[in-house]
Each structure stands twice: as structure tokens, then as C-alpha cells.
Amino acid sequence: MSEKTNIKKNIIMDFVPTRDLVVFPNMTVYFDVGRNFSVRSIKNAMEKDIPVFLAAQKDVNVEKPEKKDCYSIGTVVRVKQIVRTGNVYRVLVEGVNRAKLVNLFEHKYGYEAEIKMMHNYPREKFEKMEVIALFREAMSAFEDYAKLLPRMPQELYSQILGSKTPIELFESIAFNISLSFQDRQALLEASTVGEKLAMLLKILSREINVLTLEQQIHDQVRTQIEDNQREYYIREQIKALQHELDGEAAESDDGDPDKYIERIKKLGLDEKSEEKLVSEAKRLAHMPIGSQEAVVITNYLDTVLSLPWNSFTKDRTDVKKAAKILDADHYGLKKVKERILENLSVRALAPDVKGQILCLVGPPGVGKTSVAKSIARALGRNFVRVSLGGVKDESDIRGHRKTYVGSMPGRIINAMKLCGSMNPVMLLDEIDKMSNDFRGDPSSAMLEVLDSEQNNAFRDHYIEIPFDLSEVLFITTANTLDTVQAPLLDRMEVIELSSYTREEKYNIAKKHLVKKQLANHGLTASMFKISNDALYKLIDSYTKEAGVRNLERAIGKLCRKAAREIVENDVKSVSFNASNLSKYLGHEKYLPDLVSAEDCVGCVNGLAWTSVGGVIMPLEVLVLDGKGKIELTGSLGDVMKESARIAVSYCRSIADKYGISSDFYEKKDLHIHAPEGAVPKDGPSAGVTMITAIVSALSGLKVRSDVAMTGEITLTGKVLAIGGLREKTMAAYKAGVKTCVIPFANKGDLDEVEDIVKMNVEFIFAKTIDDVLDVALVEEKNKKRLSLELMPAKKTRGRKKVTV
């Protein structure tokens, strides 16, 4: 194929899209081929001795390019050689003719292109004298370029300068110098030799400017390095001379001691502290530079001077704005927010009030650490966190004596150094995880830190001078208070963060967790959609926790599933609802609480509190012929066993009222069972549940399936108050219970119950057990005494520990 080829007729031939490669006519070049369709086209051209069309891709990352992804001007080449190296083929081709890509066809064996041949060097548009001028300018530009590129081979330099014609000069330069493939493509697309030389001249001028700038930068860096080496050499000479003086007084030339003293005077410390630091600086002046003791003193002074002695941040006193910040950062946590806003209000009225230390106590994942961050943001203070988990050594709190090798200040002073102000919010995380050993008790060291009467002059072993911690707002966190020493606990105001309810988890996920996980996984709201019922199902069926960490992980898992769907199947968005969650997360990990579906005898819905929220705890009673024996199963604790005995005794006192045989305690055995038998259960609030179940079983009266109850009982039938009402009522609402019987003494606790629960559940306030039985038992017309039959008892298994 030559310049005489008919260029008016379109031709179809194999096509290979190239990456970062442009081939010119008359150019011989090696390149690697790895994509299957390119390998097949190259092999086909080699075997049949036919040409193949090459055109460069605009974006090298496109795996299967279309016509729009390739440049329209390419080169027809002949394949000279193919060599296989592993999974890649090394190909030698020779450029023959320029061609224009008209159309592109994709087949299962590769690409074919419809092309139109073009002249390699069409009729010149420039005047002959202009072409000669461009020829000479390009030759001169290349000489300047070669001077800035010393690695150029002499043979190539001589060959290019020996070019006789403009075409020969262009090809010699374009084929051999390093250019970007965009520049090579522009040169290929230029039609006449005059246009090619003009473009080549522009490219060379740009490269000359870049190389010149690079040379200047290189010279500056080399000069700077030489100056640094010279300075280092002089300093080493000074050190050697001072060493020869053998410790005689010799002030160092750099004047560091004087600078230290000047900085110490500016701190405005008390007289004793300033005198201590100045004496250390004067000692440094008489020591050889580089000696071990000089290094110790230098590190000591640097540490002390880096502390924020006189740096304070201005507190934000706008309580309304602080309330908005807390509400934006956290959903719920009413008590915590109220206490924080009260603290801000007191500070606004009495800025000098100090010593208020908050201790946030709650299970993992309920937001203790993030609440502390929000407090700092609401106050406008710097925030710093000190992790105390696993701290055993007192020196971690107080620091080491500076005379020891590797000594450093304690965690408190380090935290003050990091925060950069004297009045930060300092979070002492996991204070219940501290322990002690032969190296001392860190809890005792924390007493001075948290005591408002002592921490205005806290002494760290390393800095040795008093440091004022009275302006610091300390916030501590703990999972339990059982392991916190009593004197330490006495210095803190405890605020409990209980487990989140179902509604709180839903709102936290809706307002915070979904947005956070979308940002972490590169998704937008339009790409990831999750329905409300899906969030509820995540909470109920896939997580069981006090906090929201596992819920956040579950949402993150859905985000990853959505990302894969979008990338793999080229979809625009993925939607999740309650019906398709199992497709992505597998089967439900937690089943709903056991609730009676219909009214039945001897089965009552009790309410229990667990560490991860409230649950429905059914209680079953079976009456058997026997001798008055009471059988208790279901892993019941001592308190629940006592409640069972009280319930039986009280049933004897009201037997006549409900048509129960007065001698049942002699002729009938009672089997009381709490399902999920492997789960330990204890607590007094199952008393009313037991009495209701026993009365129902003995009298034959059915118990309403839509009623749940909780309450402690006495022998006289009084119903006493219980704890955990908020969690228990949420469990009743979640299980679909319509009526909830609670002690009258807990009426005031309804303020803490979620609004949605109060809207959907009717509350009955019971003062005595009669109030409970009147609501729970179903009155039957023509009631007859139940003929009790002997039935075998069943045992069940379970997993969660509950407290009732």
C-alpha cells in the first residue's frame, strides 16, 4: 500500500485501538498487545499478510472502546513480527498510510473499521520559502532542545541535524524524541509537512521552556544542599572544639539558653516556677552541645514551653444555639442534653464556678464519646480525648521523672499540649477499665486530676512545676460503675445513658447513620434508597444491642451491596425494603418475642428488662394432680422463686372469689415455667404476672392475649413500683400489645415513655392485684370449675439474660 492507493474508496479492515501510542507512516515501532480482541486482530493480519488499522484511544482506561472513544485519524500498518511473552504479545509494525476512521464494527472475534485513506503529505499550503524557514527554525529549536537533554545519543543527534528535506527532518524528530501521545496525535492529524513542522516547532519551544525551568530548580536544590552540608560541617567542628574544652564554660553560638530564658519570662508564671525553669536554662548554657544531659534539659524545656500556659478559648454562652447543636448531633438523650444546657446556663451566670465533672455511664454504642464531642462544639471549646482503657501504671497519669531514660509527661499533660488551650473539654474515656499492679494505682492518681480543690496545682512528675487544670471541663465515660473506686466516683456527677428504644434507633438511623454510611461508601441518596419498614426490620430482626453500632454496620453492609449492584449490573439505584432484606443480609437473626396469639388459660404476657432493651416474657402455669408441690423452671433466680411462693400464698387467700378449690395446695401440683429456659431470669417485677397465671390456671379463666403486665407484689396484694418502664413499654408496643398494666406508683414515669407508645398502648394503673386480675382475666358466662387434667410439662431454651 502506497501513496498511489485509491483514497476515494472506503476500505474495511481489522482495527486495533492503542493505548498511549501513536504510529506515524514510515515509522517502525514495537508495542505490547494484551486485550483478546486486539490479539486476534494482530494474529489475523500476520497470518493473512494483510494490513491493520491503528488509532489511539482518548481515555486509556476504557476497556472496550467505541468509535467516540477513539481519535478519528490513525495509521494503516503492516505487522512484521509477533513474539509472545507470558500473557502479552510483543508486536513489531511498520506504518504505511494515514487513514480516517469512518465507522467501527464490533464482532465476537474483535473490531473491524471502515476507513478512508488519506495522503501522508498532501499538497503544501505554505509557500516554498515559508517551508524552508520552518525547516531552519525547527532545526535550530532541536539543537537548543538537545543541549538541555544531555542523555540524547550522539548518533541520533547527528542523524537529525543531517536531515536534508523538511519531511526527513520531521520524521527524524517526531519518531525519536519523547512526546506525549496527545502531541503525537496532533502531529499525525496535521496534514501538510509545513503544518507538521509549525506544530513541531511549537511543541519543541514548550519543551525547551519546561526543561529550562527544571534545570533552574535542580540548580537551586543543589545549591541549597551544598549550603546545608557546609553548615553541618561547621557545626560539627564547633562541637569538636567544645568537646576539646572538656566542659569549660563556653556559651553556644546559637544563643539557645538566652532564647529559652526570654520565652520563660514571657509566660508570666509564679515566682517559684519561673525560677525553676530559668535555672534549668542556665544549666544548659554550661553544657557541651550534644551531651546526654543537655538533650534531657532541652527536651524538658521544649515540653514545658509547648504547654498552653496563657491560651484560652472563649466559651459560647448562647444556650439556644448550644441546644440546636446538641439536637443536630444527637437524637433523644433528653436528660443528658438538659444537664449540659443547665451547665452552660450556670457558666453564663457564674463563669468562675469550677469542678463540675460529668460521668456518662451506659452500654457500648449509645454515643457517650460523641456526646462529649458535641459538648465541646456547643461550648466552642477545643476537644481532646484520653483513653484510659488498660492503664495500669501510675506514671501514665503523672508522667516519669525526667532523669529516667525515655521519660515523658503523663497522658493528662500530653493532652493539654495537644489541645492548645487551658480550658478544653477533656474526655477521659473508659475510666472503668483502669486497673492497678505493682507499678502503682492510676485511679489514685486520677483523684488529684478530678478534685477541684487540688487540680489547680496539678504536679506531673516530668514537668515538676504546678499546672492549673481547674479550667478544664472533664467528662468521663464508663460502661459500668462497679469497677470504679468509690473516692473517684464521689468526685463525679453520674448521668446514665440507657439503651436506645426501637423508635430512637429508627430516628438515629434515618437522620444520621444512613447519611454517614452513604458518604463513606461513595453513594448518593438517589443511588441508595431504604424504606422505613426496612429500617424497622433491621432493628428488630438483624440487630440486638443497646446502642447502634451493629445497626450502623448493617447499613454499611447494605451500602456495599448497593455499590456492587451499581458497578456490576450498571444500574442507577438500589432500593431496599422489608421484603428483600433477606436477599442481601441472609435470614433473620433474631425472632420476635413470644406473644400469645389468642386468649388462653394459664399463659400471661409479662414484661422484662434486658441490657439491650425490653422484651415480652411469657409465663406459663400448668396444674397437675399431686400433693401441692411447686415446680419452677426456666432458669429462674432466687427473687423470682420468692415471687412464685408469694403468688401461691396469695392465691390461697382469694381462692373463693375465683371459684378455686380451697385445698388445691394439697391436691394439685403447680408447674411454673418461663420460656427460653437457658436464659437466666431474676427480679421482683414478675409478681403480678405469676399471680395472674396461677389464678387463670386454677380457675379456668382465660387471660387476654392483648394484655401485658409488670409489677412487684406483696402478701397483702399491693402492687409495688418497678424499674425499666421505658424499655418494657416499648417491648409491649413492638409486640402489638394493646393494653399494658403497670403499678400506680410508676404513673409519673410515663413522662419518659416514647410518645408513639403512649398513642398506641392503653395503660392501666394498678394499686392492688385485684386491679390487674379485673383487666387481664376474661369473664365467662355460666362459669364452671375447670376439670384439671394431668399434662406433661415442656422445657424450652433461650439466649438473652433478662431482669424482670
Q: Over the stretch 731-750, which tens digit does the pLDDT of each residue have?
A: 888 888 889 999 999 988 88
C-alpha cell at position 72: 478519528
- The reply to whether 502-585 shares the fold of 10-117 is no
316's CB contacts (< 8 A; 6+ apart) are: 322, 344, 378, 379, 380
Residue 132: how many other CB atoms lie within 10 Å: 13
Kindly write down the DSSP assignment for every residue of 728-739, as one continuous string: HHHHHHHTT-SE
Residue 499 DSSP label: P
- For the cut 80, the answer to whether the pLDDT of residue 405 exceeds it is no
Active-site residue, 653 included: no
C-alpha cell at position 604: 400471661
Catalytically annotated residue among 443, 541, 685, 705: 685
C-alpha span between 447 and 358 (Å, rounded): 14
pLDDT of residue 671: 92
C-alpha span between 40 and 17 (Å, rounded): 13
Q: What residues form DSSP beta bridges with 385?
A: 427
* pLDDT cut 90: percent of the chain above it: 8
Taking all residues of the chain, what is their mean pLDDT, rounded to a whole number?
Answer: 82
CATH assignment, 10-117: 2.30.130.40
* pLDDT band (50, 70, 90) for residue 107: confident
pLDDT of residue 733: 86
pLDDT of residue 438: 58
Residue 454: how many other CB atoms lie within 10 Å: 14
C-alpha cell at position 558: 447494605
Residue 423 DSSP label: S
Active-site residue, 685 included: yes
684, amino acid identity: P
- For the cut 70, the answer to whether the pLDDT of residue 804 exceeds it is no
How much is the CA Rg of the chain, to the nearest whole Å? 42
CB 672 within 8 A of CB 794: no
C-alpha span between 601 and 697 (Å, rounded): 6
Q: What pLDDT, in 10s, does the model give residues 113-153?
A: 889 898 888 888 888 888 888 888 888 888 888 888 777 78
pLDDT of residue 355: 63
Task: Tell how far CA 696 is from the center of its chain.
Answer: 53
Q: What pLDDT, in 10s, does the model give residues 587-633?
A: 888 776 667 778 888 899 998 887 777 888 889 999 888 888 889 89
The pLDDT of 290-301, averaged and rounded, is: 79
Half-sphere exposure (Cβ direction) of 203: Cα atoms closer than 13 Å = 20
CB 402 within 8 A of CB 302: no
- For the cut 70, the answer to whether the pLDDT of residue 710 exceeds it is yes
- For the cut 90, the answer to whether the pLDDT of residue 321 exceeds it is no
pLDDT of residue 784: 39
CB 623 within 8 A of CB 788: yes
- For the cut 60, the answer to whether the pLDDT of residue 183 exceeds it is yes
CB 704 within 8 A of CB 778: yes
* pLDDT cut 70: percent of the chain above it: 91
The pLDDT of 262-282, averaged and rounded, is: 83
* pLDDT band (50, 70, 90) for residue 437: low
CATH class given for the domain over 128-209:
mainly alpha
pLDDT of residue 740: 93
Least confident interval from 91-100, 412-421, 442-451, 742-751: 442-451
- For the cut 50, the answer to whether the pLDDT of residue 781 exceeds it is no
Architecture of domain 502-585: Orthogonal Bundle (1.10)
Domain ranges for the chain: 10-117, 128-209, 256-305, 319-496, 502-585, 600-803
C-alpha span between 354 and 469 (Å, rounded): 10
pLDDT of residue 344: 78
738's CB contacts (< 8 A; 6+ apart) are: 706, 707, 760, 761, 762
Of the candidates 663, 654, 676, the one whose C-alpha atom is nearest the C-alpha of residue 774 is 654
Q: What residues form DSSP beta bridges with 55?
A: 17
pLDDT of residue 800: 43
* pLDDT band (50, 70, 90) for residue 550: confident
pLDDT of residue 242: 63
Catalytically annotated residue among 337, 537, 668, 728: 728
- How far is CA 680 from each of CA 308, 498, 546, rounded to the nearest angstrom? 53, 21, 18
Of the candidates 434, 412, 435, 416, the one whose C-alpha atom is nearest the C-alpha of residue 424 is 416
Least confident interval from 61-70, 236-245, 405-414, 416-425: 236-245
Q: What pLDDT, in 10s, does the model give residues 329-385?
A: 878 777 778 887 887 788 778 777 666 788 888 888 787 888 888 888 888 888 988
pLDDT of residue 719: 92
CATH class given for the domain over 600-803:
alpha beta
- For the cut 70, the answer to whether the pLDDT of residue 432 exceeds it is yes
Topology of the domain covering 319-496: Rossmann fold (3.40.50)
- For the cut 70, the answer to whether the pLDDT of residue 250 exceeds it is no
C-alpha span between 550 and 538 (Å, rounded): 10
